[in-house]
Amino acid sequence: MTDTQAQFSLLKQTADPAVVDAIRNLVEKGEDHELNRINVLDFSKQVGLAEEQVISGFLHASRLGLFDLSWNVLCPGCGGVLGAHSTLKSLRPDDYHCGLCACGYEASVDEQVEVAFTVSPRVRRIAAHDPNSLSVWEYYQQIFWSSGVDFDKEAFATLADEVTLDTLELPAGEKAVLSLHLPKQFIIIFEPVTHSAQFIDVQGEPTRERQQLSLAYNKTPTPTGGTRIMRPGPLRLSLDNQADVRVLPSVFVAGDAMHELIGKRKPFLTAKRMLSNQTFRDVFKADNLNVDQRLKITSLTFLFTDLKGSTALYERVGDLAAFDLVRAHFHALLEIIASEKGAVVKTIGDAVMATFIRPEHAIVAGLRMRAAMDALNAQRGTNDLVVKIGIHEGPCLAVMLNERQDYFGQTVNIAARVQGLSTSQAIHITGPIIEVPEVTAILEREAITPIQKQAALRGIADKVMVYEIP
User: Would 274 be classed as within a structural domain?
Assistant: no
The residue ranges of the chain whose pLDDT is under 50 are none
Distance CA 72, CA 69 (A): 10
Digit-coded pLDDT (tens) for 210-224: 999 999 998 776 656
Same domain, 338 and 452: yes
Of 91, 112, 145, the residue at which a domain comes to its end is: 145
Strands 464-469 and 451-455: antiparallel
Strand 351-356 relative to strand 404-408: parallel, antiparallel, unpaired?
unpaired
What is the C-alpha separation between 243 and 171, in angstroms, rounded? 9
Same domain, 205 and 294: no
Is 252 a member of any domain?
yes
Same domain, 236 and 381: no
Report how far apart, in Å, the C-alpha atoms of 437 and of each of 337, 340, 342, 360, 444 are.
21, 18, 20, 9, 11
Please indicate, yes or no, whether residues 305 and 452 belong to a single structural domain of this protein: yes
* Closest to 356 in 3D by CA, of 306, 307, 396: 396
Are residues 222 and 196 in contact, defined by beta-carbon separation less than 8 angstroms?
Answer: yes
Residue 330 located in a structural domain: yes
Write the single-letter amino acid at 324: D
- How many structural domains compose the chain? 3
Residue 85 lies in a domain: yes
Residues 457 and 338 in one domain: yes
Question: 390 with 331, same domain?
Answer: yes
Contact status, residue 392 vs residue 430, Cβ threshold 8 Å: yes
Closest CA to 114 of 142, 80, 160, 158: 80
- Domain range for 386: 289-469
**Is residue 300 located within the same domain as residue 169?**
no
Same domain for 400 and 359: yes
pLDDT of residue 87: 86
Q: Do residues 332 and 453 share a domain?
A: yes
Asked if residue 328 and residue 186 are part of one domain, the reply reads: no
Answer yes or no: is 93 within a domain.
yes
Write out the DSSP string of 45-63. Answer: HHHT--HHHHHHHHHHHHH
Percent of the chain as helix, strand, coil, to the nearest 5: 35, 30, 30
The CATH number of residue 320's host domain is: 3.30.70.1230
Per the domain annotation, does 124 fall within a domain? yes
Q: State residue 304's pLDDT score.
A: 96
| pLDDT in the model for residue 221 | 62
170 plus 81 within the same structural domain: no
Tell me whether residue 269 is in a domain.
no
- Are 118 and 191 contained in the same domain? no
| In a domain? residue 278 | no
